[in-house]
Structure 1
Amino acid sequence: MESLLPIFFAFIAGTGHAFEPDHLLAVGNLISRRDTLGLALRDGVYWGLGHTTMLVVVGSVILLSRATFLQSSYFEAVVGLMLVAMGISRLLGWKRPISLKPTRYPHRLAYTVGLLHGLAGSGALVLLVMSEIRKPTLGILYLFIFGVGSILGMFIVAGLCSIPFTKRMRINRSLQFSAITLSSVICILYGGRMIYENVKW
């Protein structure tokens, strides 16, 4: 019973995990390109699915093999680089229409961003799980439930962050430019900090 206690809290922990700064910045950058709540919410869900996919896959490898080679600060640096690229891309393309043309896979960018976040955070999370749960199968179950919680958390985040960019709440052009510029600059600065702190210069 004692080993099951962490699993009971996995969903809550996963929901809170979605509110970490780098997650908020990345998904906020993504949904600022959407003009409907539905598209923004789906971006949040796809981010969570990508995040959960990578957590479960990488976490299972580490738990089952006790490998530690997948735990690297360079994964965090890659996420930082991604944030910088997303911020620059949003600044350069802010004048384009917010609505994106329909594609066969309209949310693949959100899923990919979630995959990268899952890769960066999997090592530390698995170490925490290994310290609390001895059975690999229970550890994998924890990661899955944690991931489901992160999907819910990012669904909430996407809904809240999308409000200023929906058609009904469309702000004027100057305020829109200010909001996009501020969020993009913060995204770039935070990403740069992640790179600086996780690369051995």
Structure 2
Amino acid sequence: MESPLPLLFALIAGTGHAFEPDHLLAVGNLVSRRDTLAEALRDGVYWGLGHTTTLVIAGALILLGRVTFLTSGYFEAAVGLMLVVLGLGRLLGQRRPAKVRPGVAPPRVAYAVGLLHGLAGSGALVLLVMSEIRNPWLSVLYFAVFGLGSILGMFVVAGLCSVPFTRRMRISRRLKFTTVTLSSLLCIGYGGWMIWGNI
């Protein structure tokens, strides 16, 4: 009989997974566009849902269907490219006059970002789970519980990252401009590093 012990750690591991650098940068970039905490938290939940969707589907395909191409490092490079695009978009968007800035991205953008992140991280997680759990269906359950943890973790991350940008904080325009610029440049730089390391 399989030990249920790995499942006990799945929720905590998933919550901690949300705090990885590329996740923090992507969601931090998204929620910096929000004016309220509720909108930012919604982005965090959508990111987590997207991440969980891909993780469960890709994990099941790898385990049950032996679809090995889903473990490719090119998915990590794709995440890097996405970070570069997010950083550039945020950097260029704030330099436009307020009247001509594009509208705020809908929650489905956060969901799409989460989908890509889930695909990029699925290979390593599958290999880890395979070394601990022999039953493939129990492994898929692990992915689902891990995904629930990532939703919870990203809910917390989104809330924390959004605090400086909410209307109640009322930080100066110069400070907000500086914060967004630095975070965007960091997003671009880290994304470039991910591309370089995975191609």
- Does the CA-based 8 Å contact 1:50-1:115 persist in structure 2? yes
Structure 1 position 2, deviation (Å): 5.5
Q: Which amino acid aligns with 2:198?
A: N
Residue by residue over 1:137-187, the C-alpha shift from the partner in whole angstroms, topping out at 9 and shown as x without a partner, is 100000000000000000000001100000000211111110000000000
Name 1:124's counterpart in structure 2: 124
Percent identity for Structure 1 against Structure 2: 71
Name 1:9's counterpart in structure 2: 9
5 Å-filtered alignment, 1:135-150, equals 135-150=135-150
Relative distance call for 1:8 and 1:51 in structure 2 (3 A) is same
Name 1:50's counterpart in structure 2: 50
**Are 1:182 and 2:182 matched, yes or no?**
yes
Residue by residue over 1:23-71, the C-alpha shift from the partner in whole angstroms, topping out at 9 and shown as x without a partner, is 0000000000000000000000000000000000000001112332211
Aligned equivalents of 1:137, 1:100: Cα separation in 2: 45
Q: Which amino acid aligns with 1:62?
A: I
Q: Which amino acid aligns with 1:117?
A: H
- Does the CA-based 8 Å contact 1:13-1:146 persist in structure 2? yes
**Are 1:33 and 2:33 matched, yes or no?**
yes
Residue by residue over 1:74-107, the C-alpha shift from the partner in whole angstroms, topping out at 9 and shown as x without a partner, is 000000000001000000001465x98578xx20
- Does the CA-based 8 Å contact 2:50-2:113 persist in structure 1? yes
Deviates most, 59-68 or 30-39: 59-68
Aligned equivalents of 1:36, 1:4: Cα separation in 2: 40
Deviates most, 54-63 or 67-76: 67-76
Report the secondary structure of 1:134's partner residue.
Answer: coil
- Does the CA-based 8 Å contact 2:2-2:134 persist in structure 1? no
Q: Which amino acid aligns with 1:13?
A: A
Aligned equivalents of 1:66, 1:134: Cα separation in 2: 14
Q: Which amino acid aligns with 1:4?
A: P
TM-score by length of 1: 0.94
User: Please, which runs of 5 or more residues in structure 2 have no aligned partner?
Assistant: none
TM-score by length of 2: 0.94
Q: Which amino acid aligns with 1:16?
A: G
User: Please, which runs of 5 or more residues in structure 1 have no aligned partner?
Assistant: none
- RMSD of equivalent CA atoms: 1.8
